[in-house]
Amino acid sequence: MRNLLLTVILLPLFTISQEILIQPYLQNASSGSIVIMWEVDQNKNGYVEWGISENFGNTTYSTSENSESDNYIFTAILNQLTPNTKYYYRVINGNTYSETYSFYTEETTNNEASTKMIAMSDMQTDASFPNKFYEVVHDGILNYVENEFGGEVNESINLVLIPGDLVSNGLSYNQWQEFFFNQSDPLFSFVPVYPVPGNHE
């Protein structure tokens, strides 16, 4: 009876899955490649399933590096993509799956396509308005684009440029997680973000 009780107590410890702490975000998009990064609370094999439909069909494995405490940041580089094409993707670590997102590759430079970007800065936390960045992202970008243009945000916006002061204290992990990435979710999962360090970082 004691062994059965011990098994029942310990079983949940072995079945707890990983948690995605920072949802996948896009960087360095080009006509033929893109970088996808995310963070989880355990270092299990991470990879990206991707393709031109939600059936995916391709797999790219990632590298990882230690982050805060025992968390890990994963980086996957998708190559040999087709220009000006919509791709679907999700990230996987062990038994943990993200939602399915999408992105567009850039047009080739010789086609001289226009670039539509959102530029914003100084979203470091204001104690009087701690959720202001969330409001800017969700009401000022996501909801606005949906109401004005329809469809997903990446059908209307190519990139997000943030020139400085992303958080109040760049040495504080919690500020990056709580005030930058969590409040901007899911914008950067659909549109590449290009941050420029400021004096607060």
Fill in the amino acid letter for 99.
Answer: E
DSSP state of 67: -
Sequential pLDDT tens for the chain (201 residues): 555 444 444 444 444 557 999 999 999 999 999 999 999 998 888 999 999 999 999 999 999 999 888 899 999 999 999 999 999 999 999 999 999 999 999 999 888 788 899 998 777 666 666 788 899 899 999 999 999 999 899 999 999 998 877 876 767 788 888 888 899 999 999 999 998 876 666
- The pLDDT assigned to 114 comes to 87
Report the pLDDT value the prediction gives residue 156, as an integer from 0 to 100: 95
Peptide bond into 197 cis (omega under 30): no
The Cβ of residue 76 has, within 10 Å, a number of other Cβ atoms equal to: 21
Tokens of 66: 């230690």
User: pTM of this prediction?
Assistant: 0.86
State the pLDDT at residue 37: 97
160 Cβ neighbours under 8 A, 6+ residues apart: 117, 118, 119, 120, 187, 188, 191, 192, 193, 194
CA distances to 36, 96, 144, 163, 164 from 198, rounded to whole Å, are 23, 34, 27, 7, 4
How high is the pLDDT of residue 199?
A: 62
30 — phi, psi (to 5°)? Answer: -140, -175
The reported pLDDT for the residue numbered 164 is 73
Q: Give the pLDDT of residue 126.
A: 67
